[in-house]
Structures are given as structure tokens and as C-alpha cells.
Amino acid sequence: MSVSEIQKQRLQSYLETEKEVLTGQEYQTGKRRIRRAELSSVNSGINQLLAAGAGCDGPVPGTRARRCILRD
């Protein structure tokens, strides 16, 4: 694997984790309370990978493309 492929996989993992954190930060099963990663640390990891040149070739899961036509 090349460095760029590893960076793309890490970025994809960070983006999936960010989605999970945004949909449910903390949940409880029985007596156990489970907390996901801190959103600030996930965003920091995403920003570091983007600054290093990582990018996603395909669509990010859970997103849709939209078009906008500006008129006067």
C-alpha cells in the first residue's frame, strides 16, 4: 500500500467516526455507559489528514451531491 492509499483509508475512517459521533455521542446498555470519541479530536485528525494531502476519490457515505443555479 502506498502512503496516499493509507491516508485515504484513515480519512474515510475518521469521516465515518465523525458521522457516528454526530448521531449519538453517548449511549447506555444496561448499567454500562459507552461514550464515543470526542468530536474535537476527530475533527483535528480529519484536518491533519486533509492538510497532508489526503482526499476521498469516491463519495463520502451519507452525503449527496447537490446543484445550485444562481439567478439575478
CA-CA-CA-CA torsion sign (2, 50, 15, 65): negative
pLDDT band at 52 (very low <50, low <70, confident <90, very high): confident
Residue 61: per-residue pLDDT: 58
pLDDT at 59 over 60: no
Q: What is the pTM of this model?
A: 0.57
Rounded to whole angstroms, the maximal C-alpha distance in the chain is 59
Residues 7 and 3: their CA atoms lie apart, in Å, by 6
